[in-house]
Amino acid sequence: MSTQLNGAQTFDKNKLTKIVFSDDTMQTVQKMMKRYPEGKHKSALLPILHIAQAEFGGWLSPETMDYVASVLNIKPIEVYEVASFYSMYNLKPVGKCLLEVCRTSSCWTRGAEDVVKHLEKKLGIKEGETTKDGMFTIKTVECLGSCGSAPMLQCGASYHENLTLEKVDALLENYRKAGKQRSYTDLDYKNTL
């Protein structure tokens, strides 16, 4: 597991949006913190990191993590150590659509490698890279609990299952047209394609 926190080098100060939750989001966050007993609100760290990642550009910059620490009133290191442990938190910027292709056994048996190769060819990037326009990042991930509908990929909250290369093409086109950032916390998961 990666423990590097090297987001700072690629962080563009000019694009800095102010890192503060909107009033609405803050309400959700505070409600979340109340799910746990008095003094145990640190429990809300993982869900709040998902929200922060969705709100502040699809990744967790050091600034974002420091902000989350201040909201939860914990030390920044407590946030860094968690963010670097779990695979869903991006410690470097990613494209608007993070295409996470499952590569584990069941998906592999049904052509996951073809899906990755096809994506690489179509987008002109390698796995782990982001297209120049900042639209797509390809990532390979481990089993997403969709083995019965393999091969599959996840983008934001949406599972795309029983993939064929044609489906992948259509998906890319639709995502490109929509042009918006996808996150795990998308409410309209069913309509996100």
Residues that bind another protein (CB under 8 A): 1, 35, 37, 40, 42-47, 49-50, 78, 81-82, 85-89, 103-106, 108-115, 142-151, 154, 157-159, 162-165, 184-185, 187, 189-190
Binding at 176: pick from ligand FES, another protein, none (beta carbon under 5-8 Å per type): none
- 152 contact choice in ligand FES, another protein, none (CB below 5 to 8 Å, kind-dependent): ligand FES
Q: In a 3-state reduction of DSSP, which class is residue 180?
A: coil
Applying CB under 6 A, the site for ligand FES has a residue count of 12
Q: How far is the CB of 41 from ligand FES (least distance, A)?
A: 33
Which one-letter DSSP state was computed for residue 88?
T
Handedness of CA 159, 164, 169, 174 (dihedral sign): negative
Q: Are 65 and 80 in contact (CB under 8 A)?
A: yes
Instruction: Output 34 or 117, the one with its CB closest to ligand FES.
Output: 117
Q: How far is the CB of 53 from ligand FES (least distance, A)?
A: 22
With tokens 């064929």, the residue in question is: 164
Tokens 């918006």, residue? 180
Q: Are strands 97-102 and 153-155 parallel, antiparallel or unpaired?
A: antiparallel
Binding to ligand FES by residue 106, rule CB under 6 A? Answer: yes
Residue selected from 53, 90, 146, 183 as contacting ligand FES according to rule CB under 6 A: 146
Give 99's Cβ-side CA count (13 Å radius): 31
Q: Which amino acid is at 10?
A: T
Q: Which residues bind ligand FES (CB under 6 A)?
A: 102, 104-107, 143-147, 150, 152
